[in-house]
């Protein structure tokens, strides 16, 4: 009777420990916008949402301003396009004619090349008041249109954008400023240029859908940052409303494995259809619960083993040592 009481006590303790609730990770917390800018897969501001390739790269300051983190700083995002995947980023240190000209020594915008973000070839960089003793400032030869790889060293002083800065035609003459357009091959060349120029700005070519080339693009201030949209069958199934309630593609922050975050708060390994192999909690919660179960089970078994050994220790060992036949382990 005493043995049964102790065994029941050990098992009851184990079950109480196992009953600790699971902790969901991402279910129901994927915000779909920040400051009026839509957030869709693969981008997100909440850990566990979107694609792990873009984890912790976007933030929402004061729930009002979307910002992109890069090695050169954290920059406001002015817009996002998912049909033609890109962000438009603004660098507060860039000069535009919307404010008086001032010399800027801040580092130019740059990206980590190991990420799935990339600087768009639609960007043009304009430098102002460069030291012509350190920077080659001259009109770009016509041959550069056919062989652009041969024309990386010069800053084009006769470029179209120097003559037609967006929104401020004639501002250069009024401020007695020199201007040249430069297309860098890497962020390092931008930094070198800014060491010898007083300021810079970035202009990207914004698509206008109701016109024909080349008039279907207009220049606008900002840095266009392209991004990839990794498409997987599981993500397509997750977002397919025909398969059930529909969901949002996400991932387990602990393992980076795919998770479908359902609109009703469930998390699934595939989709949100009724009868699917859904998990009511995120994988990290399952992992944590498994760890709790393993620890609690080990404690319970350890207590049981200790108790049995204690009982066995009261038995008489006739040969002086326990043999393999009467040893518990």
> From CA 38, how far away is CA 44, in angstroms rounded?
10
Specify the pLDDT at position 270.
76
Assign 192 a pLDDT band (cuts: 50, 70, 90). Answer: confident
Average pLDDT over residues 286-299: 39
Distances in Å between the Cα of 142 and the Cα atoms of 139, 145, 147, 158, 215 are 9, 6, 9, 11, 21
When comparing pLDDT for 83 and 145, which is higher? Answer: 83
- DSSP annotation of 167 reads T
In the predicted structure, residue 202 carries a pLDDT above the cut 70: yes
In the predicted structure, residue 237 carries a pLDDT above the cut 70: yes
In the predicted structure, residue 203 carries a pLDDT above the cut 90: yes
Q: 3-state DSSP: the chain helix, strand, coil percent, rounded to 5?
A: 25, 25, 50
Specify the pLDDT at position 127.
93
Query: Beta strand pairing status for 137-138 and 155-156?
Result: parallel
Do residues 193 and 128 make contact, with C-beta atoms less than 8 angstroms apart? no
Average pLDDT over residues 171-177: 83
Looking at mean pLDDT, say which of 27-36, 290-299, 308-317 comes out highest: 27-36
The reply to whether the predicted model has a pTM over 0.85 is no
Specify the pLDDT at position 244.
63
Query: Beta strand pairing status for 217-221 and 86-89?
Result: unpaired
Distances in Å between the Cα of 226 and the Cα atoms of 88, 97, 118 are 9, 26, 5
When comparing pLDDT for 201 and 245, which is higher? Answer: 201
> From CA 215, how far away is CA 63, in angstroms rounded?
37
Specify the pLDDT at position 302.
53
Compute and round to an integer the Cα radius of gyration of the chain.
31
> From CA 126, how far away is CA 103, in angstroms rounded?
14
> From CA 285, how far away is CA 254, in angstroms rounded?
10
Q: Across all residues in the chain, what is the average pLDDT?
A: 75
Residue range 42-89, pLDDT digits in tens:
999 999 999 999 999 999 988 899 999 998 899 999 999 999 999 999
Interior angle at CA 258, CA 247 and CA 244, nearest 5: 25
Extract the tokens encoding 84: 């033609």
Q: What three-state secondary structure class fits 141?
A: coil
In the predicted structure, residue 37 carries a pLDDT above the cut 70: yes
Specify the pLDDT at position 267.
81
CA atoms within 13 Å, Cβ hemisphere of 211 = 9
> From CA 262, how far away is CA 237, in angstroms rounded?
12
Extract the tokens encoding 148: 């652009």
> From CA 156, how far away is CA 183, in angstroms rounded?
9
When comparing pLDDT for 60 and 326, which is higher? Answer: 60
Sorted by sequence, the CB contacts under 8 Å of residue 296 that are 6+ apart come out as 14, 17, 18
> From CA 269, how far away is CA 279, in angstroms rounded?
7
> From CA 76, how far away is CA 60, in angstroms rounded?
9
> From CA 206, how far away is CA 212, in angstroms rounded?
13
């Amino acid at each position: 009777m005493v043995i049964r009481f102790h065994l029941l006590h050990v098992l009851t303790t184990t079950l109480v420990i196992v009953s600790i609730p699971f902790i969901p990770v991402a279910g129901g917390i994927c915000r779909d916008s920040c400051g009026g800018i839509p957030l869709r897969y693969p981008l997100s501001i909440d850990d566990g949402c979107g694609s792990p390739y873009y984890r912790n790269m976007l933030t929402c300051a004061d729930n009002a301003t979307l910002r992109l983190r890069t090695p050169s700083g954290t920059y406001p995002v002015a817009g996002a396009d998912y049909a033609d995947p890109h962000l438009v980023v603004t660098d507060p240190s860039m000069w535009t004619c919307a404010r008086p000209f001032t010399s800027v020594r801040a580092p130019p915008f740059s990206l980590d090349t190991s990420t799935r973000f990339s600087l768009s070839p639609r960007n043009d960089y304009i430098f102002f008041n460069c030291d012509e003793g350190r920077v080659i400032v001259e009109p770009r030869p016509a041959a550069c249109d056919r062989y652009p790889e041969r024309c990386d060293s010069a800053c084009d002083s006769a470029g179209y954008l120097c003559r037609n800065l967006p929104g401020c035609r004639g501002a250069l003459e009024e401020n007695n400023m020199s201007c040249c357009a430069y297309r860098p091959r890497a962020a390092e060349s931008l930094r070198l240029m800014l060491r010898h120029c007083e300021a810079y700005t970035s202009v990207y070519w914004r698509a206008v859908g109701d016109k024909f080339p080349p008039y279907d693009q207009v220049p606008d201030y900002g840095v266009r940052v392209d991004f990839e949209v990794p498409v997987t069958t599981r993500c397509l199934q997750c977002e397919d409303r025909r398969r059930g309630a529909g969901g949002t593609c996400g991932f387990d922050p602990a393992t980076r494995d795919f998770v479908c975050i359902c609109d009703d708060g469930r998390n699934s390994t595939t989709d949100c259809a009724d009868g699917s192999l859904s998990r009511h909690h995120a994988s990290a919660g399952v992992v944590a619960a498994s760890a709790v179960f393993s620890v609690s089970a080990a404690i319970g078994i350890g207590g049981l083993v200790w108790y049995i050994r204690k009982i066995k220790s009261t038995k008489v060992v006739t040969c002086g040592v326990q043999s393999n036949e009467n040893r518990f382990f």
